[in-house]
Amino acid sequence: MIYVVMAPNPSGQSQEKKKTKEKQPMKIHYDLLNLRMNQAEQKVTCELMMPAKLPDFYNPPLGADPVVLHVKHPTQDKHSVTLMRDCLHKNLLHAKLVSDKDPYLLVFTDRYTGMLTAYFKSIEPFVAKYAEPGRIPFPSAKLQSVVSQMLDGLKGLWFYDKYHGNLRLDNTYYYKTKDGDVVVKLASFKCQGTKLKDPAKKGKDKTETVAHYQAEDLQAMGTALEEISQMASDLSEKGYLLDCRQIDHLAERLKEVSKGEMGSA
């Protein structure tokens, strides 16, 4: 059993414009069950047992809640973990517990099923063979939902005046609910605070604005859409005729976004 501090669950916070009593973090005892370590990935999967009698605000799981414990050196991914802890949005992978005491950085995250790349390679959620010949509009409703959630996750970061800095399909997670719905979870954030030489300041450095990197997030989203379109094209070899014009048009538009357009994004 470990002793930790858990912050309030954002899903329990009211969105109405009324005064609510501020909820304070509370200390909770957790039981870790069925620990399984993957040495190659430096990842531990387990189940987290929490007390049943917690205030509703904390939205405790029922029974044993599967969690993932990432084990890394404190100097690795500190920026990413900080955003996961501080930026609360349903489409951001949330770090529920962070301990950066030497020699490890310990992070409990929200539940997730896998990576989006693997999900996209499974054609069942998106298309079905038609008995009659013809082109199938692509993306389907489910794929549109996934893409929309990725954009919503970016907006969630921007709400906190942050950016992703490393958006790719192969480092974006998803969680599949018991009803079969897919919830996208952005993660693997990267600090892009590279300093550039400013010729106007005689060799002094300057740092790009947050809007610059937010625009790069959208450009990366365009690249991700191109990857999805390529996956769809590969399906043509299996007898699917997919119409990807919507994806291709949006990908082209996103890759042309500039930081000057971020105010209207």
Strand partners, 72: 105
How would you write the pLDDT of the chain (265 residues) with one tens digit per residue? 333 333 334 444 444 444 444 444 445 555 666 767 666 655 666 666 655 555 554 444 444 445 555 666 556 578 888 899 899 999 999 887 666 666 666 777 888 888 898 888 775 545 555 444 455 556 567 778 888 999 999 999 999 999 999 999 999 999 988 888 899 999 989 987 654 445 555 554 556 789 999 999 999 999 999 998 888 777 767 666 666 777 888 899 999 888 766 655 5
CB 55 within 8 A of CB 70: no
Q: At CA 111, angle to CA 108 and CA 117, rounded to 5? A: 115
Tokens of 116: 């989006």
pLDDT recorded at residue 32: 63
Q: Any alpha helices (H) in 122-204, and if so which ranges?
A: 141-159
Question: What is d(CA 254, CA 243) in angstroms, rounded to the nearest whole number?
Answer: 19
Question: Is omega for the bond preceding 139 within 30 degrees of 0, making it cis?
Answer: yes
pTM for the full predicted model: 0.68
Task: Tell me which residue of 68, 82, 93 sits closest to 156, measured CA to CA.
Answer: 93
| 186 closest CA partner among 83, 263, 261 | 83
CATH architecture of the domain 114-264 equals Orthogonal Bundle (1.10)
pLDDT digits (tens, 9 = 90+) for 211-257: 999 999 999 999 999 998 888 777 767 666 666 777 888 899 999 88
pLDDT score for 177: 87
- Look at residue 137 in the predicted model and tell me its pLDDT: 57
**Do 2-109 and 114-264 come out as alike in CATH topology?**
no
Q: What is the pLDDT of residue 254?
A: 92
Instruction: Give alpha helix (H) positions in 105-207.
Output: 116-120, 141-159
- 92: which 2 tokens? 């951001």
Fold exhibited by the domain 2-109: Phosphorylase Kinase; domain 1 (3.30.200)
- Residue ranges of domains in the chain: 2-109, 114-264
SS3 154: helix
